[in-house]
């Protein structure tokens, strides 16, 4: 249920039935999970760059800068860990779904300006972080086998929860 | 009397250090009689969130997270500056610095300096 909600929030509605039939996030191995996490971080960095380019709201700008700083730090740490483990992240159905969901969202948001953009960005950040938190907490952490990888995801979860609360504050502030 | 209580504080502090390792929750008394208090920044929290101290004491913030943090009070006009993973910064506390502070990047991270006499 968590997973289905998370996927819906991430914009993967059309793939829902095929996911139910074939694969679920809980079936992914550690290297596929690492790939999903790297992809999810990279997507949030792309959203943030869009916000820096379009928004003139200082609160949105500062939030976006924090997203770039923090998600880059998490990804750098993930790459360092994968290098240490001499492992390569593996592309998979969920990474691909996230990517196509993000393309659609970026196209949609890129057409907006001013307060319309700010509202859309803030609400998307709130929903996106909620969905990623659901995935990490309920599908990934219980299934990760490597202790170092698990520790990194636990650290990531704490960071994403702070971002979620921050995004919630931002959404309320824009109303 | 003063010397005695300071010695007591020193041995107490040493015991606290021995128990808790690198990040004692209790401050340690420096040769000039002021106390250095330690705040760890870990899992997106200041630990301990509230520090009771005297004017002239110092607080050392150490970032144990993988993302950058600060301890900042815009209202009182002070900040540790950016603390990267593993960085620490110590500030001597003046009366004006009392009150709430946050991480400037993460407004959900809240801390407090309380001056006691
Ligand atoms: Cu912070």
What are the tens digits of pLDDT across the range B22-81?
Answer: 333 467 888 888 999 999 999 999 999 999 999 999 999 999 999 999 999 999 999 999
User: How far B78 CA lies from chain A's nearest CA (Å)?
Assistant: 19
Of A63-67, A82-86, A119-123, B21-25, least confident by mean pLDDT is B21-25
- Residues of A whose CB is below 8 A from B64: none
Model pTM? Answer: 0.83
B34 contact partners, CB below 8 Å, separation of at least 6: B54, B56, B57, B58, B92
Judged against a pLDDT cut of 50, whether residue A160 lies above it is answered with yes
Structure confidence at residue A16 as a pLDDT band (50, 70, 90): very low
Q: What share of chain A in percent tops pLDDT 90?
A: 84
User: How far B81 CA lies from chain A's nearest CA (Å)?
Assistant: 15
Query: Which pLDDT belongs to residue B2?
Result: 39
- Ramachandran sector of residue A11 (left: φ over 0; alpha: ψ -120 to 50; beta: rest): left
Question: HEC profile for chain A?
Answer: CHHHHHHHHCCCCCCHHHHHHCCCHHHCCHHHHHHHHHHHHHHHHHHHHHHHHHCCCHHHHHHHHHHHHHHHHHHHHHHHHHHHCCCCCCCCHHHHHHHHHHHHHHHHHHCCCHHHHHHHHHHHHHHHHHHHHHHHHHHHCCCCCCHHHHHHHHHHHHHHHHHHHHHHHHHHHHC
Judged against a pLDDT cut of 70, whether residue A146 lies above it is answered with yes
CA A56/CA A103 separation, integer angstroms? 23
CA-based nearest residue to A48, from A73, A66, A23 = A66
Instruction: Give the residue, B110 or B3, on which the prediction is more confident.
Output: B110
Instruction: Give the residue, A77 or B12, on which the prediction is more confident.
Output: A77
Q: Where are the alpha helices (DSSP H) in B1-117?
A: 2-20
CA B70/CA B61 separation, integer angstroms? 9
Within 10 A of A109 (CB to CB), how many other CB atoms are there?
17
Of A8-22, A44-58, A85-99, least confident by mean pLDDT is A8-22
What are the tens digits of pLDDT across the range A23-56?
Answer: 788 889 999 999 999 999 999 999 999 999 999 9
CA-based nearest residue to A103, from A25, A167, A163, A39 = A39
- Residues of B whose CB is below 8 A from A162: 44, 106, 108-109
Contact A25, A94 (CB under 8 A): yes
Among B65, B105, B107, select the one facing A169 at the smallest CB separation. Answer: B107
DSSP state of B83: B
Judged against a pLDDT cut of 70, whether residue B21 lies above it is answered with no
Asked if B67 and A74 come within 8 Å (Cβ–Cβ), the reply is yes
Distance from the Cα of residue A169 to its chain's centroid: 18
Burial of A80 (0-12, 13-18, 19+ CB in 10 A): exposed
Domains of chain B (ranges plus CATH)? 24-115 (2.60.40.420)
Judged against a pLDDT cut of 50, whether residue A14 lies above it is answered with no
ipTM: 0.85
Chosen from A58, A65, A70, A163 to mutate, greatest number of chain B CBs within 10 A: A70
Contact B66, A73 (CB under 8 A): yes
> Where exactly are the structural domains of chain A?
29-173
CA B101/CA B99 separation, integer angstroms? 7
Asked if A155 and B106 come within 8 Å (Cβ–Cβ), the reply is no
Superfamily of domain A29-173: Ferritin, core subunit, four-helix bundle (1.20.1260.10)
């Amino acid at each position: 249920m968590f997973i289905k909600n998370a996927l819906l929030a991430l914009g993967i509605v059309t793939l829902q039935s095929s996911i139910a039939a074939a694969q679920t996030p809980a079936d992914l191995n550690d290297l596929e999970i690492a790939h999903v996490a790297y992809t999810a971080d990279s997507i949030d960095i792309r959203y943030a760059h869009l916000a820096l380019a379009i928004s003139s709201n200082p609160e949105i700008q500062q939030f976006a800068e924090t997203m770039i700083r923090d998600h880059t730090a998490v990804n750098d740490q993930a790459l360092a860990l994968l290098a240490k483990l001499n492992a390569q992240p593996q592309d998979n159905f969920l990474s691909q779904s996230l990517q196509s969901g993000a393309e659609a969202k970026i196209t949609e948001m890129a057409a907006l300006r001013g307060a319309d953009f700010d509202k859309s960005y803030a609400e998307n950040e709130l929903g996106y972080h909620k969905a990623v938190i659901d995935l990490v907490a309920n599908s990934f952490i219980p299934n990760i086998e490597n202790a170092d990888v698990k520790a990194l995801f636990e650290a990531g979860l704490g960071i994403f929860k702070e971002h979620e609360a921050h995004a919630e504050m931002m959404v309320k502030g824009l109303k | 009397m003063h010397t005695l209580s300071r010695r007591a504080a020193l041995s107490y502090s040493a015991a606290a250090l021995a128990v808790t390792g690198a990040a004692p929750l209790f401050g340690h008394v420096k040769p000039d009689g002021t106390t250095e208090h330690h705040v760890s920044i870990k899992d997106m929290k200041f630990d301990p969130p509230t520090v009771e101290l005297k004017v002239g004491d110092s607080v050392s913030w150490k970032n144990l997270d993988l993302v950058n943090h600060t301890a900042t009070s815009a209202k009182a006009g002070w900040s540790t500056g950016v603390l990267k993973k593993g960085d620490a910064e110590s500030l001597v506390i003046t009366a004006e610095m009392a009150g709430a502070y946050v991480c400037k990047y993460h407004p959900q991270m809240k801390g407090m300096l309380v001056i006691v006499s």
